[in-house]
């Protein structure tokens, strides 16, 4: 067994691991990264964010081709299979792996491909795919091993028609009817993807409103547009059993209903990848979801061991994971590249896209904050009309006395980009956070950003 010595060893090469490794390497530390997959990028690149966003992009292009009258001159509407659109996702994954591999090489970070576990607080044993075991000794270790779909024992995931968000990427045909169990962000995103391919989707939600953490108006808009695309949303339902049959899956609900489809996609919860880490050898405990507790410095209960990304739980987003990993390393190298990540925008890549930051109307009303609303509807905006993207709205919530921007909620074309303008203003200190910014600043025209000016005038006009 070879033994290597490092300042910092990072377990996992997803966004959290990459953020940690790059920051530590830039600060002059000798760094190694271990990943159980033979390529870098983590589940983010191979199974989660990247494939789902690439699939969505292709599906939207197909929808545009099929619904825009201009394209009829070059051909009739065409339907594409799921494996067809998957090919374009695979191309993006390869490009991402190539770029990210380059970052590690450029920063002289050693990569070990194998499963890492703790022998003791400073020693990681890596079992490589060829069975060789390497020993890495490090002063500090960052756990960034991410998460995987939660699989309850009473669901048979070995049945060929029962999928989760990892295995759906192996689907080799296009089902005519699909049950998506779980209407969280991942369930809603896949409902958009499959319905965009013409699949009849039953979306099973165990609550009475889709994504109830969103502003109600936006959640209602999502429900409307999903229904409009042939998604049947069934609220307040829970499974009794999932029965795999020869030609499909039957979902038995506690309410007594039975639903049959060609396949079922399970999107109900995730669990931290901690079971193979040998945490019992170092005394780190995990919660019932397999997640590790950290303090605001991303330090675990063992002082030289840090954790970041999905393995620590909320918000379980790639966006946050990168910054958490970077911050964990910032604490290790004691430079100023540290912050506790708690101001994360919501970006949901359904069709239509959704994004928000700050408080919603429900929260502000409950807190008795005197706010006002300004709205801009995309259907009236030049850039949206040019792009043939009339669906959507930007809503700004602001304090009616101080004019402070309290929340920005958006759905429709480019929503996840548009929200950052509002976020930048909300992050300004004192009077610099003001809705007046949007009427006192000249934006490019025509742009989707114009929605801020329209919404700001709409809101300011309500004041008296
Ligand atoms: C379908 C889907 C869509 C998503 N869409 C978005 C989105 O649009 N935007 C967004 O911000 N987030 C999105 N997410 C969430 C995002 O993918 C995760 O938050 C992100 O991947 C977490 O990054 P991470 O670095 O913590 O870990 P991961 O990306 O999970 O990577 C962890 C890595 O560690 C490796 N590993 C595990 N155990 C070991 C071990 N013992 N030894 C060595 N290596 C190990 C794993 O193989 C993996 O490569 C999505 C997730 C899913 C499932």
Indicate whether residue 49 lines ligand 1 (CB < 6 A): yes
129 pLDDT higher than 90: no
Ligand 1 pocket check for 37: Cβ under 6 Å: yes
Question: What band does 462 get if pLDDT is binned at 50, 70 and 90?
Answer: very high
Q: Please answer whether residues 326 and 337 qualify as being in contact, where contact means their C-beta atoms are separated by less than 8 angstroms.
A: yes
pLDDT for 318 equals 97
Domains and their CATH numbers in the chain: 2-149+271-333 (3.50.50.60), 162-268 (3.50.50.60), 352-460 (3.30.390.30)
Find out whether the beta carbon of 149 lies less than 6 Å from any atom of ligand 1. Answer: no
* Rounded Cα gap, residues 379 and 381, in angstroms: 6
Sorted by sequence, the CB contacts under 8 Å of residue 38 that are 6+ apart come out as 113, 129
Q: What percent of the chain has pLDDT over 70?
A: 100
Pocket test residue of 36, 183, 189, 318 for ligand 1, highest count of atoms within 8 A of CB: 318
Q: Which residues contact 336 (CB under 8 A, 6 or more apart)?
A: 330
Nearest atom in ligand 1 to the alpha carbon of residue 149 is 53
Ligand 1 neighbour 346 (Cβ under 6 A) = no
Distance CA 367, CA 358 (A): 13
Note the pLDDT tens digit of each residue in 88-117: 999 999 999 999 999 999 999 999 999 999
Cβ of residue 15 lying under 6 Å from some atom of ligand 1:
yes
Distance between Cα 308 and ligand 1 center (Å): 11
Give the residue, by CA position, lying nearest to ligand 1 atom 26. Answer: 309
Backbone dihedral angles phi then psi of residue 300, each to the nearest 5 degrees: -85, -175
Which residues, including other chains, have CB under 8 Å from residue 339's CB and lie 6 or more apart? 323, 327, 330
Q: Encoding tokens for residue 327?
A: 């911050």
Mind giving me the DSSP string for 16-43?
HHHHHHHHHHHTT--EEEEESSSSSSHH
Contact call for residues 332 and 144 (beta carbons, < 8 A) = no
Query: What's the predicted TM-score (pTM) here?
Result: 0.96
pLDDT digits (tens, 9 = 90+) for 304-358: 999 999 999 999 999 999 999 999 999 999 988 889 999 899 999 999 999 999 9
Q: Is the CB of 126 under 6 A from ligand 1?
A: no
308 and 19 Cβ atoms separated by less than 8 Å: yes
Q: What is the mean pLDDT of residues 8-34?
A: 98
Residues 299 and 308: their CA atoms lie apart, in Å, by: 9
Judge if the beta carbon of residue 96 lies within 6 A of ligand 1: no
Query: Residues 262-288: pLDDT tens digits?
Result: 999 999 999 999 999 999 999 999 999
Across-strand partners of 307? 143
CA nearest 222: which of 345, 456, 65, 393?
A: 393
**In this structure, what are the phi and psi dihedrals at residue 41, rounded to the nearest 5 degrees?**
115, -25
Rounded mean pLDDT, 43-62: 97
Q: What is the pLDDT of residues 157-193, one digit of tens each?
A: 999 999 999 999 999 999 999 999 999 999 999 999 9
Which residue(s) pair with 346 in the sheet?
A: 356
Distance CA(71)–CA(332), nearest Å, equals 55
């Amino acid at each position: 067994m070879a033994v290597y010595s490092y300042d910092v060893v990072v377990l996992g090469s997803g966004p959290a691991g990459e953020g940690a490794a790059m920051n530590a390497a830039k600060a002059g530390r000798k760094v190694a990264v271990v990943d159980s997959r033979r390529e870098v990028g983590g589940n983010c690149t191979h199974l989660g964010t990247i494939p789902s966003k690439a699939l969505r992009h292709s599906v939207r292009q197909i929808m545009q081709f099929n619904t825009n009258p201009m394209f009829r001159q070059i051909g009739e509407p065409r339907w594409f299979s799921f494996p067809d659109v998957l090919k374009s996702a695979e191309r993006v994954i390869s490009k991402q792996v190539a770029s990210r591999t380059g970052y590690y090489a450029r920063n002289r970070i050693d990569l070990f491909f194998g499963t890492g576990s703790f022998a003791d607080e400073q020693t990681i044993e890596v079992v490589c795919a060829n069975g060789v075991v390497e020993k890495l000794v490090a002063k500090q270790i960052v756990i960034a091993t991410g998460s995987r779909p939660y699989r309850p024992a009473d669901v048979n995931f070995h049945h060929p028609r029962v999928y989760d968000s990892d295995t759906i990427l192996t689907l080799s045909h296009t089902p005519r009817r699909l049950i998506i169990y779980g209407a969280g962000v991942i369930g809603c995103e896949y409902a958009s993807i499959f319905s965009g391919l013409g699949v009849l989707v039953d979306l099973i939600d165990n609550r009475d409103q889709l994504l109830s953490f969103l502003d109600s108006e936006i959640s209602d808009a999502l429900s409307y547009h999903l229904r409009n695309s042939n998604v049947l949303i069934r609220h307040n339902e829970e499974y009794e059993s999932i029965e795999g049959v020869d030609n499909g899956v039957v979902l038995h609900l506690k309410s007594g209903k039975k639903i049959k489809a060609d396949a079922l996609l399970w999107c109900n919860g995730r669990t931290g990848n901690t079971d193979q880490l040998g945490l019992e050898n170092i005394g780190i405990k995990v919660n019932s979801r397999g997640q590790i507790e950290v303090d605001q410095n991303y330090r675990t209960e063992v002082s030289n061991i840090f954790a970041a990304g999905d393995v620590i739980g909320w918000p379980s987003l790639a966006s946050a994971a990168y910054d958490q990993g970077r911050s964990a390393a910032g604490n290790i190298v004691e430079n100023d590249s540290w912050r506790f990540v708690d101001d994360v925008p919501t970006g949901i890549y359904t069709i239509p896209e959704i994004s928000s930051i700050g408080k919603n109307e429900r929260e502000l009303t409950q807190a008795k904050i005197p706010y006002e609303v300004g709205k801009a509807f995309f259907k009236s905006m030049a850039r949206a009309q040019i792009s043939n993207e009339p669906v959507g709205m930007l809503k700004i919530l602001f304090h009616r006395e101080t004019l402070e921007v309290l929340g920005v909620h958006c759905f429709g074309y480019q929503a996840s980009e548009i929200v950052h303008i509002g976020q930048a203003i909300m992050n300004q200190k004192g009077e610099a956070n003001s809705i007046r910014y949007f009427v006192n600043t000249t934006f490019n025209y025509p742009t989707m950003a114009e929605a801020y000016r329209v919404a700001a005038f709409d809101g300011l006009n309500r004041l008296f």
